Structure 1
Amino acid sequence: MIFTINYSLYLVFTLFICCDGMATNQVWNQQTKLQKRPWVKSRLTRAVYLRKLIIGNSPASIIDHPYQVLLMINGKPKCGGSIIRSNFILTAAHCIHNVKVHQLQIRAGSTDRTLGGQIREIQEMYYPDDKFNIDTYDFDIAILKLVEHLVFNEAVASIELPTPGREIKEHDMAKATGWGMTDPLESTLPKILQVVKLPQISTSSCRKYYGNLISERMFCAGYEEGGKDTCLGDSGGPLVANNTLVGITSWGGDICAQAGKPGVFTKISFFREFIDDIINNKII
């Protein structure tokens, strides 16, 4: 469904959230806004604006996206993630920033975010804490090591990683998946996984929209005219092209699916050495 922004409705919804924010806070444990870029919001913290999780979305089956997981904090849905090994999950650093390991769980192998599949506790979490910047979202990548391996089947499988240094192919289509709010006037979340197709935008082209906020570790995906996008709750989730995990949902403009403000993703090919060192037990 293509979503068109209505600014009068936006003002009403802002008042609605101010007066009835408790329900939303029960669903999403929101963090503070980005301090240095108040007009830019992460795909985790954008519930107080008029937006959906996947804009221009359609329902999806976990069978078609078996690498997708739901990341939970204290039992509540928080972010997405991707299976890269039977005991390793890739997500965004801002999803686990200031969170303790014992607070984390993942659910894999279920189209329905509320039941079924395999739930696993987290043993260790790794992210470049000496480089990750909560203000700029640079180095927005994290790896979770599971206490118990996942059992692979048709609904649970790993996703291929890009080769080191692989460049983003301009305009190549990619798929983003996730769960989250699909109606700006409701605080409930959809139970079923959603998917949206987005054209990739290279790092250099992405700077056309965000200037020097885009580092070499970032790229964009979306349409010049807007209408389709990732959003609230998608943070940490996968962007997949040609059966390869090319990006991690990270941040974007203050209104999802806004024209001239495509979603911004962490470029996984930049971090292959970091990922390989962890999953190959070189860093423990």
Structure 2
Amino acid sequence: MSNDSQPSRQSPTGAQLLDAIRFLTILPVPDSDRAPEPDWLTRAMTFFPIVGVGIGVISAMVLLLGNSLFGHGLAALLAVAASVIITGAMHEDGLADTFDSFGGGWSVARRLEIMKDSRLGTYGGLALGLDVALRATALAQLPLWAALAALVACHAAARATPGFVKRKLAYAGEISAMKVSYAEEPMRKDERVLVLITVALAALPLLLVSPVALIAGLGFGAALAATIATWAKRLLGGYTGDVLGATEQMFEIGFLLGVAAVLAS
């Protein structure tokens, strides 16, 4: 007798992809039929760049539509706004909290306390304003097809950074269930390889436009992300969830600035 009333069980890969979409975006996804495992977020990080590709494609579609309606400058701002909306400003929140913490705290304990405060301070507000302005302005400097390719590559590559940062740094936040989910279990070698393959495929359109621009984007992005990670190690002793969000945002800024440095029209 058929048991159609029972929900179909998701494969581990499918469940991890849904976890990544659920964690990184506000997009509706089916509920998981699996009990959450302690390392669920680390396993989901394997699929962060894939979700980044989707975010980049949506942002690129907004850029393309906005360009036909309003011109390139406003379209670039709308494309950035689209990514903010899709992700629920998750990474931007981490960036603001990180800069408020680093700028306003005089001890590790105080910096961690500021980082947990939901209020937006001067340093965080300035960081957010410059973040959006730099990304939108850099994007507006690019020829349309280069901008579309850069968006997809940027969002995929930026979402690979948290997994690599947490592999290099110790966890500095409070011990909690969430901490166990991504701090105690590193990404496996096969997962890191899949992340790199995804980023490489996402970067292929930009590679065809300009290999030099792609290299510049990756170099600038990695440099800014590494700066935040180094800063976090010195001021906190390691990373937190907010720091991971900040490194993602700094990579986006650096990537677009690097591409614009080569291809700005």
| TM-score w.r.t. length of structure 2 | 0.27
Of Structure 1 and Structure 2, the greater strand share is in: 1
Larger radius of gyration: 2
TM-score by length of 1: 0.25
